[in-house]
Amino acid sequence: MTDAIHRRTLLAAAASMPLGLTAGCAPRPGKAGGRWTNPLVRQRADPHVTRHGGHYYFTASVPEYDRVVLRRATTLQGLADAAEAVPWRRPASGRMAGYIWAPELHRFDGRWHIYFAAGDSDQKFRIRTYVLASADPDPMAARWSLLGQLETPWDSFTLDATSFEHRGTRYLCWAQAEPGIGTNSNLYLAPLATPTTLARAPVRLTVPELDWEVQGFKVNEGPALLAHGGRLFLTYSASATDARYCMGMLSADAGADLMDAASWTKSSVPVLATDPAAGVFGPGHNSFTTDASGRPVIVYHARGYREIKGNPLFDPNRHARAEHVRFDAAGVPRFMPPAPDGPVGG
């Protein structure tokens, strides 16, 4: 991590405060816009939800790690049992025939894009990021083409790409193992030239260095951007994928130079973590959407138990959950405590 970010690390009290809104969305007054029940979608990890044309689109990692899936519904609750399309399935062997992780659906430049991570059949953990695209208006029935691999400065472990537009610039934020740094993954940011190429050299936003970021593995991954009250909040996940998995946050002024690492301030404690009282274990890898009234909603995965037999990556019960984002008087979001199983919203 840069010295500038390290010097500006938040105090623990400040860091326990919560997060904001999806970029470009502001809450509107009115009713909450419906209710749903947690877990929202079972056995779907790394959930990503986006709204477009009156629909919610949902994609996530499946326990088999063999395909990209996509659901659509007019309400959040409707995602629970919505039919799944399969925009892409891994080949039988060779490149991209290993583990398929963490797809995200984004619409920009008049096309749909799916960013996802894939390994190879002979090296399943040789994870790189790839992009699918379609000009068809309906992503559920679209004809998808593979644009290729995301090009970054290093051919190394790369995953969890997310895209957003801010002040007329389309950005990509992703996790990657940078050669020469002894971590599993750090977070990087750069403007896009094309869906698979960067317009300039990336900036390293954060490296796992705090105690809660290095439990089991040294991980910063799963970024998701929110904007609220003139500030940007970038959440991310840290540590191993068991009950130690948790969520941190970077924040920046909306008018700052996002490509200057010193513009971002890092929380010193997790903003969402295991809560046995709520029955939520290992929460993380979130996305943000809004309910029907425009209120911000966080969607993340978690298990309902602590003990796991074997590698936690192969325990299938990371379920997608959703709840409204709460804000303090300063407009900073708060995620703790998480909502327990049962009805949410209203």
pLDDT in tens, 23-56: 333 333 334 346 999 999 999 999 999 999 999 9
Q: Which residues are catalytic?
A: 46, 221
Q: In the 8-state DSSP scheme, what is residue 80?
A: G
Spatial separation of the C-alpha atoms in residues 123 and 144, rounded to whole Å: 25
> Do 51 and 72 form a contact (C-beta atoms < 8 A)?
no
For tokens 């610039």, name the residue.
169
Across 289-306, average pLDDT: 96
CA atoms within 13 A on the CB side of 75: 12
- Using DSSP's 3-state secondary structure scheme, residue 76 falls into coil
What pLDDT shows up at residue 34?
67
Of 258, 263, 254, 186, the residue nearest 223 (C-alpha): 186
| 273, pLDDT greater than 70 | yes
The yes-or-no verdict on residue 8 having pLDDT over 90 is: no
Q: What is the mean pLDDT of the chain?
A: 91
Residue 99 backbone dihedrals phi, psi, to 5 degrees: -70, 135
Could you give the angle at the alpha carbon of 111 between the alpha carbons of 107 and 115, nearest 5°?
A: 60
CA distances from 78 to 39, 41, 115, 287, 344 (A): 13, 10, 24, 18, 14
Residue with tokens 């997790």: 270
Residue 6 has pLDDT above 70, yes or no: no
Q: Tell me the pTM.
A: 0.91
Answer CATH for 3-330 from 1.20.1430.10, 3.30.1280.10, 2.115.10.20, 2.40.30.10:
2.115.10.20
Tens-digit pLDDT profile for residues 91-123: 999 999 999 999 999 999 999 999 999 999 999
